[in-house]
Chains A and B, each alone.
Chain A
């Protein structure tokens, strides 16, 4: 029971403080599931982000389900997901009413703009943690992973090359298996 409660409360906090959509929730998920509660190892967390990028649905809902299932089965899935959605439900309804009253949203927009730099810093920090994990360490990087990272980054950042993240992940899986075959790890 206390496990279900802490699942609920953890994902409630993730829902409450993920501002800006997309990957904004990721650093919070990492904090709650890896650092605070050890429900996932850093590697399992990286795999979860990978899986989330390849499947439909927001990363927070995906994580709530993945972690809930792993830690407490189907009750865990339901509790974690509800916890994650509840702040949205409450705040959206409040905002919708405020919105009606003051149809100009200058203040709200200002507040969001003010928070954005820190959200970007949090996503950047979480990205560095993922990179460190992929490379094993920054000082003695896994050369294969480093090459894959650099190529993928260039493909994503280039305006000319149009390869989406899902295709890149599939290619990453293929070269990963190929590399293991070449180095006799298979």
Chain B
């Protein structure tokens, strides 16, 4: 692991029951305040783990977040996982993952039960009528924000891949799993070849 990557952190804690409880509590409270998921977690996690607890330093935090974003899955879960693993091995990883997933599990379980009761209520239907248009705007604006850096690169390949993806998914209705798997394979081969070529020059 990155354990011996950037040297010993300043205050690596003693691993005992109290530490596990503390780790669990820290990730639990972090998770409660991560609305909408994703990148918000990074600044919050830094504040807790680096500034308040002093468990890791900034350099390690940066490495962990790169790892968390490179791995598939939710960034919040990946981030908690890698910090927990760094601090206390597999057990630490499990404790911090549990701390991260329990709040959304409890909240969404309650909402799921409540939703099935009220989904046909006229007030709820009316509210969701308005919110559905907003959520479409949220998702399309996110995709627009993600598209801009692709366009700014001024390279043909990313735009071409975007168009191929769009045609495959929206027009041809091709299974998204198939599209993702072929894209990952393509990207692995392309990256290996282009890196090799650059090193050869």
Q: Assess the B33–A152 pair: CB atoms within 8 A.
A: no
Q: Does A91 contact B (CB under 8 A)?
A: yes
Q: Is the interface of A mostly helix, strand, loop or mixed?
A: helix
Q: Is the interface of B mostly helix, strand, loop or mixed?
A: helix
Q: Does B85 contact A (CB under 8 A)?
A: yes
Which residues on A sit within 8 Å (CB–CB) of B170? Answer: 121, 125, 128
Given A31-B176, A117-B150, residue A146 in contact with residue B139 (CB < 8 A): no
Interface size class of B (residues with CB under 8 A): 35 or more
Given A21-B74, A85-B77, A172-B134, residue A121 in contact with residue B85 (CB < 8 A): no
CA distance A113 to B107 in the complex (A): 34
Which residues on A sit within 8 Å (CB–CB) of B35? Answer: 54-56, 166
Interface mask (B158-201 → A, CB under 8 Å = 1, otherwise 0): 11011111100110000111011101101110111011000000
Interface mask (B129-164 → A, CB under 8 Å = 1, otherwise 0): 111111111111111101100100000001101111
Which residues on A sit within 8 Å (CB–CB) of B195? Answer: 106-107, 110
Q: Assess the A25–B74 pair: CB atoms within 8 A.
A: yes
Among A39-92, those with CB < 8 Å from B are 43-44, 46-47, 49-62, 65-66, 69-70, 74, 77, 81, 84-85, 87-89, 91-92
Q: Smallest Cβ distance from A158 to chain B, in angstroms?
A: 10
Q: Assess the A125–B166 pair: CB atoms within 8 A.
A: yes
CA distance A88 to B77 in the complex (A): 8
Q: Smallest Cβ distance from A11 to chain B, in angstroms?
A: 11
How many chain A residues have a CB neighbour from B under 8 Å?
109
Q: Smallest Cβ distance from B185 to chain A, in angstroms?
A: 10
Given A21-B74, A152-B137, residue A174 in contact with residue B132 (CB < 8 A): no
Q: Smallest Cβ distance from B63 to chain A, in angstroms?
A: 8
Q: Does A4 contact B (CB under 8 A)?
A: no
CA distance A85 to B66 in the complex (A): 18
CA distance A126 to B143 in the complex (A): 10
Q: Does B15 contact A (CB under 8 A)?
A: no
Q: Assess the B101–A108 pair: CB atoms within 8 A.
A: no
Which residues on A sit within 8 Å (CB–CB) of B169? Answer: 27, 121-122, 125
Among A1-55, those with CB < 8 Å from B are 13, 15-23, 25-28, 31, 43-44, 46-47, 49-55
Given A50-B128, A95-B70, A186-B123, residue A57 in contact with residue B107 (CB < 8 A): yes
